A = this chain, B = another copy of it.
Amino acid sequence: MIRIGIVGYGNVGRGVEAAIAQNEDMSLVGIFTRRDVGTVHPVFSDTPVYPISDLEEGKADIDVLLLCGGSATDLPVQTPSFARKYSVVDTFDTHARIPEHFAAVDKAATTASTTAIISTGWDPGLFSLMRLLEQASLPVGSGDAFWGPGVSQGHSDAVRRLPGVADARQYTIPVQKTVNAVRQGQGGFTAREKHTREVYVVLKEGADPQKVAQDIITMPHYFDEYDTTVHFITAEEMAAEHTAMPHAGFVIRSGRVGAEQEHKSLMEFRLELESNPEFTASVMAAFARACYRLHQSGCFGCFTPFDVPLGLLSPLSAEELRRTLL
């Protein structure tokens, strides 16, 4: 049995707790939290909850720690820090900061002879693997990724921070016409051409809807480069219709093969998820298995999904995989 510890108990942490129950070769040692232990209520009533300080000595009986904090402030500190004592898996997803995160985690894990896999989940993670497979298989071509229809947590949070906003939920929606054009081999589309954004907002009492809408659609980086529609709804409507966390996405590449590049090839990977954090957690659990096996075979340091033979993700042995899945 691979003994798993969960660090951080938000949506992804809860998803990991559920995912471990679906993998017969894994057992959950417990949830480790910064919060008061009594305030954490696990999904399954028999899951133990411990203060995060219990991990500090490095003596917890754990094979792999699954780090379920956020990429903005938690993981840049936690992943290198815990990698000094445990093998770890995270879902670090700030694409631009991956090189420095990798360097910090690699240094810690190499020094401590632990094994870390960073940036698992679906993007980065599965989508990264698809970008790579598609580009390696079709060197001549063009492609793109689309996200949605689904909820963007980052954009929802950005709207919630605006004055006058009591609650908000942002949906990212791919523009079907552009998806089709990418399938046909066209490229070079702008952010506005690829996705639209729909925002559902509950106003604070007395807030000016026109000003709030203006603040949203002009927000740099988050909304100014997109066509955004703002809908004002009641708190009751928000609670009734917008609590789910669905997401979806495509990775598409259209390439040309043949001596004169005369034959089109289309590769497309698609996800459609009723729960983004629970699926992310399920992918993370598979990478925990790979992390455990890499560590068992003496592979220390920091890895990304690109560095892991995919066979290590499966509970089946290499021989069973060749016999049943190849």
Contact = CB atoms under 8 A, between A and B. Distances in A.
Contacts of A315: 136, 139
Nearest to A19: B257
Contacts of A264: 272-274
Interface stretch (A49-57, A167-175, A201-209, A281-289): A281-289
A72 interface: no
A126 B135 contact: no
Interface residues of A, number: 71
B309 A282 contact: no
B322 A102 contact: yes
A263 B283 contact: no
From A140, A318, A325, name the one whose CB has the most chain B CB atoms within 10 angstroms: A325
Q: Give the number of times this chain occurs in the complex, counting copies.
A: 2
Given A44-B259, A259-B44, A304-B326, A136 B266 contact: no
Contacts of A319: 99
A11 to B, nearest CB: 11
Given A99-B323, A310-B310, A311-B132, A259 B140 contact: no
A131 interface: yes
Interface string A84-96: 0000000000010
Nearest to A129: B310
Interface string A6-24: 0000000011011101110
